Amino acid sequence: MRCGSSRTINMHRLLLLLPLLLGFSAKAQLLSQIELDTVRTYHSLESALKHPDNVYRLDLSHQKLKEVPEDVRKLKNLNALDLGHNKLKELPGWMNELQYMQEFSAGKNKFTEIPNAVCQWKHLKRLDLHQNQITGIPKCMGGLKELFSLDLWSNDLSDFPDEISGMSSLRFLDLRAIAFKQNEIELISSLLPSVKIFFSQPCNCGQ
């Protein structure tokens, strides 16, 4: 009787813990910063696709890509993606499905605007789009409440909407190698008063 009672109690405890265990499993794809810094970085899409659910960090930089391979869509747990030094002009719409994206790098490509998918990555913490031809920051980026670091140096930026002040976690913004006038620098700084912003020396454009 005592043995049966013990089994009943243990089963009851398991049933109580089950929702917690399931909840942990459901959130396990979103890694902590420590976990993300220590996971394996895959440098081959072919290798990554052998175990797609175990891929959290993928580096496809320096591969002369003109479009993002659709097989990346299969990597549902992707937390970090590097597409730097390619020939990309846009991101496919399906990339907003990568809901655990925390770090995205696509510097030195051919973007003229920040891709729409970026605004859908609500857990995004680091965004690097340096050395493109981006002309402005979209209003929707104000909804990126977890964004910590934004690298946009050497772009063609001129449009900074008031909504960017909504990026409440932002602490670092690199805007070097962009020809801003002094009044533009003052405007950007007023929108992001808690952010360390790196500017080049202001120009006297048109004066």
* pLDDT tens-digit readout, 87-124: 999 999 999 999 999 999 999 999 999 999 999 999 99
pLDDT confidence band for 151 (50 / 70 / 90): very high
Q: What pLDDT shows up at residue 22? A: 44
Tokens of 89: 């002009």
Q: What pLDDT shows up at residue 24? A: 38
Q: What pLDDT shows up at residue 202? A: 86
The strand pairing partners of 59, in sequence order, are 82
Closest CA to 171 of 199, 198, 131: 198
Query: 31-199 — its CATH code?
Result: 3.80.10.10
Cα separation, 134 vs 6, in Å, equals 66
Residue ranges covered by each domain of the chain: 1-30, 31-199
pTM (2 decimals)? 0.85
